[in-house]
Structure 1
Amino acid sequence: MRVAFIHPDLGIGGAERWLVDSALALKSLKHDIVIYTSHYDTTHCFDETTCMNVVCRGDWLPRSLFGRRCSTVCAYIRMIYLAFYIILFSPFSHEVIICDQISACIPILKLRKMRIVFYCHFPDMLLTQRKTALKKLYRAPIDKLEQYTTGMADRILVNSRFTLNIFRQTFTSLKSKYVDILYPSINTDNFDSMKPDRTLFNFYDPSKTYVLSLNRYERKKNINLVIETAHYFREHYYEYSWSDNVVFIVAGGYDSRVQENVEHYQELTSLAEKLNLTDDEIIFLKSPSDIEKVTLLDIASVLLYTPSGEHFGIGTRFVVPVEAMYMKTPVVAVNSGGPLETVVHGVTGYLSEPDAQNFARHLGNLLRQETPEFGENGRKRVNDNFSFGAFANKLNFFISES
């Protein structure tokens, strides 16, 4: 079967991770795969995409207007442009088109006889604030368009029970539309094929204990909590001899084109400096490669996952905690959103209130005690619930029965 993916920006975010894993899953089942995108930089993407058929069109279109404004409209325009390209100029014929994030392209794609599958990571209308009357006016037609065009898909998939409930509450006109749950997966074969290489990091010291945070440099990720936890840990766990050897690593996606990434990175490093955390106590890394990420998860004794109230969905919200469990690394995560369906409290890690005191307490419990069973439990949970094979078979069923 010829299957195409359409996506606005093939970078290294969570949605892109889902897309790449989905493409690999269907490719493993002998489907012909093409990815259409309006931006593709081989130096800023997941390594697997370099071995895929990627068609990039429309990169000349603006990402925003008047500074950082109208980014949503620009993203919609880029996706609609891609849809017209597929309909009018693409040399490939497709039986199924899978799109995610932006549904505005669906009416154009429906002009050709192709089945459309829309994967909803989370309703886009809930991902923006409306603090001004102008913003409310600007978003009103976009919100209506999102709901209407989403309903035009032949099949709708969501990533969790959590997102399904939000979908029903948000898209009230689609209550009669049947929606399936397809949990994201991690490509465990890809993980198994990459051997951690600790020589990649000149800071690595086998006598140290490493605590990892892996999130994009965005304010909504609440990475401040990692730094505040590091400070609280230093202030209140100093009496334990092993605490002197604990090093916190803050790593994540960073794009110099994205102003928030640049600003937030500076905010975080400034906060660490303000709290007197030295370079030996906290390390900041930008956009680690796949092998670097695997190595970081391998050397980490604990993963801290800090976003509060985020949806289950994409990338770091789902993938990083699950990847950590697959690498037998216990997780301390905020007790809301995605972790409620992935992390098992007291079994594969801890679910915590989103404050430095509670995070440090759970972290201390894991570091103070020998808890190898947490790692083994995490690996088993991933194999049982989020394996790549199960994901591939289920996705294949959904596109075949659309």
Structure 2
Amino acid sequence: MYTVLLRFWNEGMVRVVFLHPDLGIGGAERLVVDAAVALRSKGCSVQIWTAHYDPQHCFSETLDPDLPVVCVGDWLPTSIFGYFHALCAYLRMIYVAFFLVFLSGVEFDVVFCDQVSACIPVLRLARQRKKVLFYCHFPDQLLTQRRSALKRFYRAPIDWLEERTTGMADCVVVNSRFTAGVFRRTFKSLAGVHIDVLYPSLNSAAFDGEIEELDGLIPEKNTWIFLSINRYERKKNLPLALQALGALRQRLTPDQRERVHLVMAGGYDERVAENVEHYGELKALASSLGLDDSVTFLRSFSDRQKVSLLHHSTCVLYTPSNEHFGIVPVEAMYTRCPVVAANSGGPLESVADKETGFLCEPTAEAFAEAMERFVRDPRLQREMGEAGRQRVLERFSLDAFADQLHRHILRLAE
């Protein structure tokens, strides 16, 4: 396998290896794939190394033989009796880095690492120390609850390791000004570390192809389709979308109620207990709200299905609060689909309130009020859709992302 991979390392090219824990279909994975595609377009040689990769559960670009994916260490556990997920994730990434540096024979110039910084010390042990760019989506230590003393005791050394190893990177970039502020408040010992904001981009080519019909995904009678795209995780506040639909229906006439529909489309992995549990919770909530006939649940949908849904939807409901950035609003705006989002975190930087969508308090009534405006005024979708498309082209294009990232990589390679 490695003999085949070595042919991609052409003389004179900057050779970049991406290290990522689990190459599924989430927002972090979307950024990693887009970054690899962007650097390849700039003439870099790229490989993606990961501890888990499933060709049946991945972004389509990773199936391209010119974007090789190497999976090692998937035999290592992701948890121990349902616990110690963070520790296992750290050990898996350390193993991937160890394999790359000491066992693979692959030569590289720069490593793009994200999510787990614990592997950075291993990368620095390479025969000729290589440069590391660390992309911080959000401090890992803020993504977990600390309800018990035992959990705080368990997380203390992991949190210390995260901060210490993040500071070992040669370059640190974050996905938004919001995350930059959180980074500074969280990693107080890294006050002297320079960080740059590198907004996630949109690989527009994936959205510019022929638009497929919905092919029976939802009943044809619907006039207004509201779409939620997020992983089936509790922190994404997905119940808000269901509650907002329920509140909206109370504002409409009987005929209008029959023609509104919500599609809950989300990343879903049967290996992840929370995905399975939360999917069941959402189905139960929809039933309790009397929405069984007004909601369609999709799990691990394809890229083509996502593009089709975005093009056919009235607007996207983006429910997480304090989201680090969130690529879904950008994808929606590019496809001329307005966005209703919680008024915190990354959407404050991506969505222009009352121009490309609405930024609302994360309550069912606030979301329902915004949704109702699309029902009452058909022109709103077209006007906000066009404004959203222009905003993405100006601020979040793949070209702008590629130029900025390539400058970082070249500076490190020198």
Report the TM-score, using the length of structure 2 for normalisation. Answer: 0.93
Q: What is the correspondence of 1:275-294 to structure 2 with a 5 Å cutoff?
A: 275-279=289-293, 281-294=294-307
Q: Which residue of 1 aligns with 2:5?
A: none
- Offset at residue 156 of structure 1 (A): 0.4
* 8 Å contact from structure 2 (residues 323, 345) kept in 1: yes
Give, in whole Å, the separation in 2 of the partners of 1:75 and 1:397: 30
Residue ranges of structure 1 left out of the alignment (5+ in a row): 313-317
Per-residue deviation, residues 153-211 of structure 1 (Å, max 9, x unmatched): 0000011111111111111111011111100011012211x322115334352753211
Q: Which residue of 1 aligns with 2:3?
A: none
Residue ranges of structure 2 left out of the alignment (5+ in a row): 1-13
Q: 1:391 aligns with which of 398, 401, 406?
A: 401
User: Would you say 1:65 and 2:80 are equivalent positions?
Assistant: yes
Q: Which residue of 1 aligns with 2:356?
A: 348
Report the TM-score, using the length of structure 1 for normalisation. Answer: 0.96
- Offset at residue 381 of structure 1 (A): 0.2
- Offset at residue 368 of structure 1 (A): 1.2
RMSD (CA atoms):
1.2
- Offset at residue 243 of structure 1 (A): 4.1
Per-residue deviation, residues 297-350 of structure 1 (Å, max 9, x unmatched): 0110111011112322xxxxx211010000001111010111100111110000
Q: Which residue of 2 aligns with 1:315?
A: none
Give, in whole Å, the separation in 1 of the partners of 2:182 and 2:214: 44
Q: What is the correspondence of 1:50-89 to structure 2 with a 5 Å cutoff?
A: 50-51=63-64, 52-66=67-81, 68-89=82-103
Per-residue deviation, residues 50-108 of structure 1 (Å, max 9, x unmatched): 11211111010000002x20000000000100111011111320000000000000001
Per-residue deviation, residues 116-145 of structure 1 (Å, max 9, x unmatched): 000000000111111111111101111111
Q: 1:274 aligns with which of 285, 288, 293?
A: 288
* 8 Å contact from structure 1 (residues 212, 249) kept in 2: yes
Structure 1 residues 225 and 207, CA gap change in structure 2 (3 angstroms): closer
Structure 1 residues 204 and 29, CA gap change in structure 2 (3 angstroms): farther
Per-residue deviation, residues 253-312 of structure 1 (Å, max 9, x unmatched): 011111111110111011111111132x11111111100000000110111011112322
Q: Which residue of 1 aligns with 2:181?
A: 165
Give, in whole Å, the separation in 1 of the partners of 2:222 and 2:286: 23
- Offset at residue 399 of structure 1 (A): 1.1
Q: 2:276 aligns with which of 262, 277, 282?
A: 262
Give, in whole Å, the separation in 1 of the partners of 2:360 and 2:204: 27
Give, in whole Å, the separation in 1 of the partners of 2:224 and 2:156: 50
Indicate the SS of the match to 2:117: coil
Indicate the SS of the match to 1:205: coil
User: Would you say 1:20 and 2:33 are equivalent positions?
Assistant: yes
* 8 Å contact from structure 1 (residues 2, 95) kept in 2: yes
Give, in whole Å, the separation in 1 of the partners of 2:218 and 2:246: 20
Which residue type is aligned with residue 394 of structure 2? Answer: D
User: Would you say 1:218 and 2:233 are equivalent positions?
Assistant: yes
Q: 1:6 aligns with which of 5, 19, 34?
A: 19
Indicate the SS of the match to 1:401: helix
Indicate the SS of the match to 2:218: coil
Give, in whole Å, the separation in 2 of the partners of 1:50 and 1:100: 21
Indicate the SS of the match to 1:141: helix
Structure 1 residues 204 and 27, CA gap change in structure 2 (3 angstroms): farther
Give, in whole Å, the separation in 1 of the partners of 2:99 and 2:384: 49
Identity score, percent:
51
Give, in whole Å, the separation in 2 of the partners of 1:302 and 1:13: 20
